[in-house]
Amino acid sequence: MNKIKLLYDVITKMKNKEVINGTITAEGKKDNLNIFSFENEFEKNTLTGHIKTKISTEMDYEGKRIKHESSTDFNMPDCHGNMHHRFIKHHHNHDEDHTGMKFGPKDGLNRIAFALSILNALKADELEDKSYMLSLSLNEMPEDIKQAIHEKMNSEKSSEKHGLHDHFFMKEFHSMNSLNIDLNIYINKDFEIEKIMFNAKGEQRDELSVEHEMSTKVDLSLTW
């Protein structure tokens, strides 16, 4: 399957969806012990801006245990247009992209090279039931791209920029070594995304130079 054609068909199909229903689940482990879990069941109407969510979160960090559940039902009037304009304005007023990397007029080729490296490493497979799977592994990317991604994930400046420096998740997963990331996207025969699976594993050295195994898993399931 031509991955460019597949990506085009998926984007064309998904951008016309009026209602999106799904569930996001996430979990993080340190030395095979759960330190957090998260689940968000959601429904979003892209035309009216009506959103319903049901969130459940559990954390077990530094001897503190937290459990929280909540449900939200709200509207975001004209969310389509407003969000689009804010997005455009944001990117016109900043010389950094969402990766946190700075790009000036002379560095445009760096952005293109980065995108092409990701695209080149992306694999597209047609499955027996005529569905498809897109897969991406950090281990199969060029060394300079792996280094750039690794530095970005371990960037203290980036964490502070997004207000996440003191967040337990960012603190525990900061300065990971031997990092590996795998991403799988499952697409049905109608070119609808049904599931996205993200897995990251690495090692972290604490203040006493003790190595800890870190892992995080994020799954997005969509129903049509």
Taking only the tens place, the pLDDT of each residue in 183-221 is 999 999 999 999 999 999 988 887 788 888 999 999 999
Instruction: Check: CB of residue 10 under 8 Å from CB of residue 187.
Output: yes
Give the pLDDT band (50/70/90) at residue 60: confident
Res 158: pLDDT: 46
Res 125: pLDDT: 96
Res 155: pLDDT: 62
Strands 193-205 and 176-187: antiparallel
Task: Give the C-alpha separation, 54 to 39, whole Å.
Answer: 8
> How many other C-beta atoms can be found within 10 angstroms of the C-beta atom of residue 181?
19
Instruction: Check: CB of residue 151 under 8 Å from CB of residue 157.
Output: no
Over residues 39-62, mean pLDDT: 92
**Stated pTM of the model:** 0.78
Tokens of 146: 């792996």
Give the model confidence (pLDDT) of 75-90 as tens digits.
876 555 444 444 444 4
Instruction: Return all residues near 214 (Cβ < 8 A) that are at least 6 apart.
Output: 28, 29, 30, 172, 173, 176, 201, 202, 203, 204
Q: Rounding to the nearest 10 degrees, give the CA dihedral for residues 106, 137, 131, 4.
A: 20
Q: Which of 45-54, 104-113, 140-149, 161-170 has the highest mean pLDDT?
A: 45-54
The CA-based angle 117-26-33, given to 5 degrees, is 110
Cross-strand bridge partners of residue 216: 28, 200
Percentage of residues in the chain having pLDDT higher than 90? 46
Q: Is the pLDDT of residue 223 over 90?
A: yes
Distance of CA 180 to the CA centre of its chain: 14
Cross-strand bridge partners of residue 63: none
Tokens of 179: 């990092």
